Structure 1
Amino acid sequence: MTKSQRMKSFCLQLRFKSTQLFIVAGAVLLALLVSLLCIGFTLRFEVEHAVANVADVDYWKDWVAIEQKLWYDKGIEELKRAMRVHSKQRQPRQVLLLMVHGIDAPALAAARFTTADISSHANYIWDRFPHAARLKNSCSYSSPCDAAAAFRALWSGVPLAAVQRLRSNCSSSSNESELFSVLQQAQLAGFRTGFVTNQRLTGALGAALYAQVTSSSWECDGLMPVGAIEAGCQDVAQQLISSATGQSLNVLLGGGRQLFNAKVPSFEWDPVDESLCRARAGRNLLRDWQNQKLKLKPSKRFELLQQAHELSSINGSSVDYLLGVLANGDLSGSAQAPTLQLMLNKTLQVLQRPGVGHLLVVEHHVKQPMLASEQLQLLNATLTDLLGHKELLTLVLLTNGNYLSASRDVSEETQLVSTLDELFQEPELELQRRLQQMPSESLLFAQGPKSLLFYGVHDETYLAQALSYALGIDVFGRQLIEDK
């Protein structure tokens, strides 16, 4: 064999060996890479599921006292639910906002523990909502504080000081000072709307949803100066019937008949409330509402109710507009007032239509603190029966409803936290007095699509802004485009 042939044979053998070596090395590296990936995925799986599976560890079963194990098992179940929380990003088609006056954080805490056995404390449906927030009470540093202005700030998203500054002459034709409430925005965007209250329909909360008034005392024409009436000013009751927002409301249920009509029936169980405004002679706004609905083109079906027993007999699914003025004064003052559950069931029958969204605002006053726990249980049962729709955003807003004034730049609650060391040196009775006088921020619980918007501590203006965004509308009622 010549020298060149031997060299050629050697090179061929070397190339073959190199190929084998490369294949072996590649296989080893691939096996190592697969092993590392498997280890990584295993570790990640264990980390993500460590808490969820912690109940399976022998420690929880064998190394603690039985009593402690029972409570830890309960805690583990709550942790599992917390890890499954997922608030869908799609826009809600239905919104239910329940505002409860007379229940703040201390009252809610007291209602939980009504017996000596703390293990049997009350559990409310909103406690299981995945998101919660606090809304500041601007009235705690505004003196004097007007409830009508405070609610307008809440529903319009404009600060209280600006609301008070924007008040204008009601006879003026200029709309520069007009504030669109979130309910007005929803109507302009094509949503069906409703307002239900156990008070009167013309109260401060309702007025802030549909009316533009300069005086919070003008609930009806009976308290308006003659000069204001002659100048073309309209009271709240008149605006509810004649304004575009009031006429577009699909459901109105509450009290206040004596503010709409001059002549009203008076019964032992539903007397005329002399502490409230009374309509001037000749007024019959309920008849005017009927006449308006008769003129609608195309024609719509409507129902006007003035007695509570009439509510249970109607079929809301076939009604386009429902107005129920079921008491002379506040609905809560009538001994024959319908239950909140009945009112909400009929309201939802009217509001729910295929392919159309709705916004429902519900106001409920708790006036007797000693019965707060019972009323909370009734609210809890009512909400439990209503929830479950996957497109429903549910908001429960608890507030003490007291508009206290304090001339300071920060809320008394914030000020108190910064001086706890000094306070606890005071006598116990003085400490309790100051705690009871704290203006309470509102508690907000949220569940459903876009409920993750409601978190942390915000000004009260945030509620209207977040609701507008959740519904996909801007301040002019236009539907915003959002990727689904």
Structure 2
Amino acid sequence: MVTTKRNKEFCQKVRLKSTQVFIVAGTCLITVLVTLLCIGFMTRYEVDNEVANVADVDYWKDKVASSQKIWYDKGIDELNEALRTPRGPIYPKNLRIFLIQGVDGRDLAAYRFSGKDLSNGNTNFVWDKFPHFARLKNTCSQQFPCPISSVAKSLWTGIPLDKIPEAQPDCGNLVNETETPFSVLRQAQLAGLLTGFVTTQRFTGSTGAALGNTNSNYECDERMPLGSLKSGCQDIARQLITGETGKSLNVIIGGGRQMLSSLVPKSISDPVDELLCESNDGRNLLKEWRNQKLKESKVKPIKFELVQRADELESLNASNFDFLFGVMANGDLSGNSNAPSLKLMVEKSLQVLKKKNQGYLLIVEQFIQSGMNKRKELQLLNETLTNLKREEDTLTLVLLTNAIYPKPILDMSEETETINQLSETFNEAEFQIQETLYQMPSESLLFAIGPKSSIFHGVQKETFIAHAVSHVLSKSSPKT
């Protein structure tokens, strides 16, 4: 009887352990099956969406000539790099936009290669390796007369060129300020981002005027009509210093002292540019800017600095300041032989803008005037970009435009007309062909890298950059 009871208990234990073993084995089997299914789905997803494993990118090594193989090996390495899935945030925290005026695709083709050895390919410029690229149309080539003063406003406000509001000669008739179009710079400020504008030109140039939401055609008081002055109109320089956009700029570095002050120091290295506007109303907007910041500091603790020489800028620990105003030349920086380099201005700007818990928008303009050494200027830009620290949360754009607006025609762009007449064009002498091609209004080139850089693609209107940047800003604003 006792033996029977023990046998029964033994059988129950064995049965229980068998059940446990079965459960464990079943669980393992299900796990394996689920894993295999996931692998299958991921493989199918990669095939359908062209997401390649870089280890699989190859070519038929045994079917190309030995003279080709070395270049195919190099090309496959580049392809592997292009196919790597980017990691990091979906939307950027920061935006850096470099606007290069005076350079187009022809110049890049001419200056990209150094020396006679072309075998290394497009290795000179860092933006050649940016993963995304777009072209912006030159609408100005289809209008007559070309409203050159409105081109920058179209670019930075997203309003078509022919819809840009004209400046009013009588400021008493100006529309309500709330109806004034906001540039991407002002939108960034309203979204809570820190902002900066750096230019090798003067602040009051077309880019500065557009970004600062100014509504004047006059850079300073000297050339403004008396009637406009009496009606209360303000020139671009004063609006940049006293307007909400200008006052909110954390960084502004460039030239234009002679527009900001009626009494400026003159030297052989930094003369007054007689071709540009010279203020003569006794103003000192540099002092006004400092006084503004002193008043602000009594309400909210802020640190600010005004510098006017390259050595002052270089020795400044800019990360300690909330606002930096750098006035580096009486006119454009090209007129001052002691002006700071683009690299230095960008480095100091980023020291101010890089705060731990806040994003930023920095717009940098490099103006390459006719007669400048374009190869040297592009090398300076390349050096500046190369030395920037790569940041996963930062979207970087490089926009190159020729800044030339030749006489347009009404029914078609000159580019279209030239293409339609290629057979006749290439029967001309070589120098005439070169002149015709050079005078064609080229489209702007836009290179992009970083989170959401993929939205910059194809051939777009000039207004596209403002719309795209505005979208990114709306997703990049600090979370409250």
Q: Same fold (TM over 0.5)?
A: yes
Identify the residue that residue 75 of structure 2 maps to in structure 1.
75
* Partner SS state of residue 390, structure 2: coil
Question: Percent identity among equivalent residues?
Answer: 49
**Paired letter, 2:251:** V
How do 1:392-431 and structure 2 match up within 5 A?
392-431=394-433
How big is the shift at 1:387?
3.7
Structure 1 contact 87–450 (Cα < 8 Å) conserved: no
Question: Match of 2:203?
Answer: 201
Distance in 2 (CA, whole Å) between partners of 1:479 and 1:120 is 41
Aligned residue for 2:17?
none
- What is the deviation of 1:84? 1.3
1:373 maps to 2:361: no
- CA distance in 1 between partners of 2:372 and 2:202 (Å): 23
Aligned 1:286-325 pairs, distance under 5 A: 286-296=286-296, 297-325=299-327
Give the corresponding residue for 1:228. Answer: 228
Aligned partner of 1:464 among 463, 466, 469: 466
Hey, what's the Cα distance between the residues in 1 that align with 2:420 and 2:88?
Answer: 38
SS of corresponding position for 1:77: helix
Q: Render the CA deviation track for 1:192-211: whole Å, top value 9, x for unaligned.
A: 10000011111111100013
1:53 maps onto 2:59 in alignment: no
What is the aligned partner in structure 1 of residue 193 from structure 2? 191
Correspondence for 2:362 among 360, 363, 379: 360
Q: In 1, distance between residues paired with 2:230 and 2:87?
A: 53
Letter in 2 for 1:362: V
The superposition leaves residues 160-181 of structure 1 with CA deviations (integer Å, 9 ceiling, x where unpaired) of 1000558674333522751110
2:392 matched residue in structure 1: 390
What whole-Å deviation, never above 9, does each CA across 1:291-319 have from its counterpart, x for those lacking one? 11100111311101112210011111111
What are the Cα deviations for residues 138-188 of structure 1, in whole angstroms up to 9, with x where unaligned?
A: 111122223321000000000010005586743335227511101111111
Question: Any residues of structure 2 matched to 1:42-441 within 5 Å, and which?
Answer: 52-55=55-58, 59-60=60-61, 62-86=62-86, 90-120=90-120, 122-164=123-165, 169-175=170-176, 178-215=180-217, 218-296=218-296, 297-367=299-369, 371-441=373-443
Gaps of 5+ in 2: 1-32
- Between 1:415-424 and 1:109-118, the stretch displaced more is 415-424
The two structures have a TM-score, normalised by structure 2, of 0.85
Against the structure 1 CA distance between its residues 39 and 403, is the aligned structure 2 distance closer, same or farther, given a 3 Å change threshold?
closer
Query: Equivalents in 2 of 1:314, 1:348: separation in Å?
Result: 13
Taking a change above 3 Å as real, the CA distance of residues 333 and 480 of structure 1, as seen in their structure-2 partners, is same
After superposing on structure 2, the runs of 4+ consecutive aligned residues of structure 1 that deviate more than 6 Å are: 36-43, 45-48
Question: Does the 8 Å contact 1:148/1:208 carry over to 2?
Answer: no
**Structure 2 CA distance for aligned equivalents of residues 429 and 436 of structure 1:** 10
**Preserved contact between residue 169 and residue 214 of structure 1 (Cα < 8 Å):** no
| Alignment partners' CA distance in 1, 2:136 and 2:38 | 48
**For structure 1, which runs of at least 5 residues remain unmatched after alignment?**
1-32
Considering only aligned residues, what root-mean-square deviation do their CA atoms show, in Å? 2.8
- Paired with 1:433 and 1:174, the residues of 2 have a C-alpha distance of 45
Tell me the amino acid that sits aligned with residue 303 of structure 2: R
Pairwise CA distance, 1:438: 0.5
1:194/1:361 contact within 8 Å kept: yes
What letter is aligned with 2:109?
A: A
**Secondary structure of 1:364's partner?**
strand
When structure 1 is superposed on structure 2, of 308-317 and 360-369 the one drifting more is 360-369
Q: 1:116 to 1:155 in 2, by over 3 A?
A: same
Residues 397-423 of structure 1, C-alpha deviations (whole Å, 9 max, x = no match): 011111223122432223333443443
Quick check: 1:194–1:351 contact (8 Å CA) kept in 2? yes
Q: Which amino acid aligns with 1:134?
A: R
Within 2, Cα distance between the matches of 1:451 and 1:205? 23
Contact (CA 8 Å) 2:307, 2:313: kept in 1 or not? yes
1:386 is paired with a residue of what secondary structure? coil
Find the residue that maps to 1:472 and give its secondary structure. Answer: helix
- Report the 3-state secondary structure (helix = DSSP H, G, I; strand = E; otherwise coil) of the residue aligned with 1:103: coil
Superposed displacement of residue 479, structure 1: 5.6
Q: Aligned in 2, Cα 1:119/1:170: closer, same or farther, shift over 3 Å?
A: farther
Using the alignment, how far apart are the partners of 1:436 and 1:73 within structure 2?
Answer: 37
Change (3 A) 1:167 1:160: farther
1:100 touches 1:365 (CA, 8 Å); kept in 2? yes
Which 10-residue stretch deviates more, 175-184 or 387-396?
175-184
Could you report, residue by residue, the CA deviation over 1:321-360 in whole angstroms, capped at 9, with x for unpaired residues?
1111111110121100111111111101111111111110
For residues 258 and 167 of structure 2, the distance between their equivalents in structure 1, rounded to whole angstroms, comes to 30
Q: 1:135 to 1:37 in 2, by over 3 A?
A: same
CA contact (8 A) 1:125 1:384 kept: yes
Q: Which amino acid aligns with 1:118?
A: L
Q: Residue type matched to 2:222 in 1?
A: G
Deviation of residue 117 (structure 1)? 2.2
* 2:124 aligned counterpart, secondary structure: coil
